[in-house]
Amino acid sequence: MLRLLQIEFIKLWNNRASKVLIIAYFALLTSIALIAAIKFDIGPVKFHLAEIGIFNFPYIWHFNTFVTGFFKLFLAIVIVSMMANEYSNKTIKQNLIDGLSKKEFILSKFLTVLSFAMISTVFVFVVSLILGLFYSDYDELSIIFSDLEFIFAFFIKLVGFFSFCLFLGILVKRSAFALGFLILWQILEGITRGLIRWKLFDGDTTDTIMGFFPLQSMFNLVKEPFTRLEAVQTVADQVGEQITLNYGVHWYEVLIVLVWTVVFIYGSYALLKRRDL
């Protein structure tokens, strides 16, 4: 397994575009720290973003995993390009000729997906921990290491999303078309949500149904954190509104994403097995 993973990383690192995208991705993950330096000084309005509690433990785990989740598109491009290059450079055929089975080929890609997800998760954990230790108002260990389920959910979210990208890369064979299909699928889920809510059910029922769709189920793992912020809650109370959202990570949401991950990986293998390369 380590040999398969080593082969994949050698391929990626020898590809200039993939190398640039991977470096840019981790640079963006690090750039979350720059939020701490943002200050607004407009007349009587003066505040420092780091002072409104976004880096407080344990809220920081929720905030950072949600925000950095938007950067995953960079690695999505790497993954679909990785598959496109296998076809365009005919390395997939050469690997099979050299004795690599189709099952081992898919396993090597899935190990790459797992590695990207794990490295990203550890990276976000370390950056968040450092920022929290610098800016958080709370330093008790019990508080620091609470809400770590968001880190776990972030990992599952990335594994599911990257597995989807791998499936699209094998299905379409062209990176641009695969990414276009990914965007189209996101749009279709949005249209489906609108139609279901307009014609069939209320908002809560629609949300439950959409929770079974692949991209929405991945998004649901780490819900928006902004209305959870103490400053937002205070403003809501002052205007007579109550925000009672459930921000937790639920086992059934994790299970749905894991099922989709299995579907995408098995689907990738089934497609490859049926094709005449």
CB-based contacts of 29: which residues, under 8 Å, 6+ apart? 68, 71, 120, 123, 124, 127
Give the pair of three-digit tokens for residue 89. Answer: 């450079």
d(CA 57, CA 66): 15
Look up residue 104 and give its two tokens. 């081992």
Q: What is the mean pLDDT of residues 165-182?
A: 88
Give the per-residue pLDDT at 43: 57
Cis before 44? omega within 30: no
The residue that leads in pLDDT, 39 or 102, is 102
Q: Give 39's pLDDT tier (boundaries 50, 70, 90).
A: low
Site of tokens 């094998």: 170
Residue 200 to residue 274: CA distance in whole angstroms: 39
Compute the distance between CA of residue 141 and CA of residue 40 in angstroms, rounded to an integer.
32
CA distance 189 to 197: 12
User: What 3-state class would DSSP assign to 245?
Assistant: coil
* Residue the block writes with tokens 């790497």: 78
Per residue in 200-224, pLDDT tens? 766 678 888 899 999 999 999 999 8
Q: How far is CA 116 from CA 32, 41, 148, 203, 237, in A?
A: 19, 39, 19, 35, 41
Average pLDDT value for the chain: 85
Q: In which band, very low, low, confident or very high, does the pLDDT at 118 lie, cut at 50, 70 and 90? A: very high
Question: Average pLDDT for residues 189-197, to the nearest whole number?
Answer: 88
- Averaged pLDDT for residues 43-66: 79
pLDDT digits (tens, 9 = 90+) for 7-20: 777 777 778 888 88
Asked if residues 210 and 216 have their Cβ atoms less than 8 Å apart, the reply is: yes
In this prediction, residues 258-270 reach a mean pLDDT of 96
Whether 94 shows a pLDDT value over 70: the answer reads yes
User: Could you tell me which residues are beta bridge partners of residue 39?
Assistant: 48
Among 16-20, 72-76, 190-194, 212-216, the range with the most confident prediction by mean pLDDT is 212-216
Pair 148, 250: CB distance under 8 Å: no
Within the chain, strands assigned E span 39-42, 45-48
Backbone φ and ψ of 39, nearest 5° = -130, 140
Tell me what pLDDT residue 260 has: 97
Give this prediction's pTM: 0.90
pLDDT for 267: 95
Q: In terms of Cα–Cα distance, which of 231, 82, 79 is closest to 158?
A: 79
